[in-house]
Amino acid sequence: MKNYFWSFRYNILVLFTLVISHSNFGQISYDFSIPLPPSQEAVQTVNENYFGTYSTEEGESVYEINTLGIWIISTVYNSISKETVRESSQYTVRNGFLFGVLKNDSIPCVLDNDRYYFGIKNKELMVGNQTENKLKKISNNKYIINFIENDKFVPILIIFKGKTLTVHQFDYDSSTEIFNAFELFGRHKTDQMEYVTLTPNVKEWRKFDYEKLIFDKGKNYYL
């Protein structure tokens, strides 16, 4: 997978664990062999009226949506010692800004216990022509982002309402029987986990209320 997930999953949620993983013996992890819903073609981005930048009140992560697709902007925090800044010609601190970390730019920093702390913004394309992830439209304000994981897909439901974007992670009790409605694509087991891959066909999906797919309560981001 590409650098995006790595920062995206590493910080998530920072945004969001994409596959539920349990430590107890005999648990089941579900994914899909095709992007959902199967009856819809993939799109590059959402309706234009939802374009903009969405963030939480805490501002720990940001979604930017435009004609190119859906982006995630996260902050990677780091620090450097006061001694290193003093002894290296690469770094300089002036008026609360650290020079030398970013090329031809400075970043705000805070000195605490002889270390300068700073954050670097990381912007990655989550959905768009350059990614393997698939975005599919359910209705005018509801979409599923299908994240690719080991050649399988894990869905995230996103809902727009007014100036709010709600992101619902795929979350479930591994003992659920709700996925029995879908055709089995394959399964394999390890000592502590059973991995089940499903392939809902169009007929199954049309009979199935997608909101019964188990998603968490969601996290709100504001325009």
Closest of 210, 211, 176 to residue 30, by C-alpha: 176
- Classified as helix, coil or strand, 40 is coil
Q: What is the pLDDT of residue 26?
A: 56
- Which string of b and e fits 172-186 if b means at least 16 CB within 10 Å? bebeeeebeebeeee
Cβ atoms of residues 116 and 82 within 8 Å: yes
Q: What is the pLDDT along the chain (223 residues), one digit of tens a residue?
A: 333 333 444 343 333 333 433 334 458 889 999 999 998 999 999 999 999 999 987 766 799 999 999 999 988 889 999 999 999 999 999 999 999 998 888 999 999 999 999 998 889 999 998 799 999 999 999 999 999 998 999 999 999 999 999 999 998 887 788 888 888 888 888 877 888 999 998 888 888 777 777 788 899 999 9
Give me the residue spans of the domains in the chain.
3-222
Q: What is the pLDDT of residue 211?
A: 73
Indicate the pTM of the whole model.
0.76
Question: What is the distance between the alpha carbons of residues 208 and 98, in angstroms, rounded to a whole number?
Answer: 54
